[in-house]
Amino acid sequence: MEAAQASASTEPAAPAKRAFWHDDLEPYTKPSLPLSLLDLATSVVPFIAGWIAMYLAYENVGYWLTLCFMLPTAGFLLRTFIVFHDCTHGSFMPTKKQNHIVGAITGLLVFTPFARWRHQHAVHHGSAGDLERRGTGDVHTLTLSEYRAETWKGRLLYRLFRNPVVMFTIGPIYSLMIMPRIVPKDARPRIRHSVILTNIALVAAITALCFLVGPWAFFIIEGPVILLAGMAGVWLFYVQHQFEDVYWESSDQWSYADAALRGSSYLKLPKILQWFSGNIGLHHVHHLSAKVPNYRLQAAHDNNEIFHDVPVLTFWESLRCTRFKVIDDDTGRLLTWREVREMSTAAPAPVSG
pLDDT at 137 (0 to 100): 78
Q: What does the alpha-carbon distance between residue 109 and residue 111 come to, in Å, rounded to a whole number?
A: 6
Q: What does the alpha-carbon distance between residue 323 and residue 337 come to, in Å, rounded to a whole number?
A: 8
Closest CA to 179 of 234, 131, 224: 234
As a whole number, the mean pLDDT across the chain is 89
**Which residues, including other chains, have CB under 8 Å from residue 202's CB and lie 6 or more apart?**
108, 111
Window from 38-52, 89-103, 176-190 with minimum mean pLDDT: 176-190
**Residue ranges per domain, the chain?**
28-345
pLDDT at 245 (0 to 100): 86
Of all residues in the chain, what percent carry a pLDDT higher than 70?
Answer: 92
DSSP, res 174: I
Does 72 or 311 have the greater pLDDT score? 72
Query: pLDDT class for 244, splitting at 50, 70, 90?
Result: confident
Q: Is residue 19 predicted with pLDDT exceeding 80?
A: no
Q: State how far Cα 181 lies from the chain centre.
A: 18
Mean pLDDT of 306-322: 89
Query: pLDDT class for 351, splitting at 50, 70, 90?
Result: very low
DSSP, res 179: G
pLDDT at 5 (0 to 100): 45
Q: Is residue 148 predicted with pLDDT exceeding 60?
A: yes
pLDDT at 17 (0 to 100): 58
Window from 73-87, 153-167, 233-247, 337-351 with minimum mean pLDDT: 337-351
How many Cβ atoms sit within 10 Å of the Cβ of residue 193? 15
pLDDT at 273 (0 to 100): 95
Q: Is residue 139 predicted with pLDDT exceeding 90?
A: no
Q: Is residue 352 predicted with pLDDT exceeding 70?
A: no
Q: Is residue 135 predicted with pLDDT exceeding 80?
A: no
Query: pLDDT class for 207, splitting at 50, 70, 90?
Result: very high
Helix ranges (H only) for the chain are 2-10, 22-25, 33-41, 44-60, 63-88, 96-109, 114-127, 144-149, 152-162, 164-167, 170-173, 189-213, 215-239, 256-263, 271-276, 283-288, 297-302, 315-319, 337-346
Largest pairwise CA distance in the chain: 91
Mean pLDDT of 46-72: 94
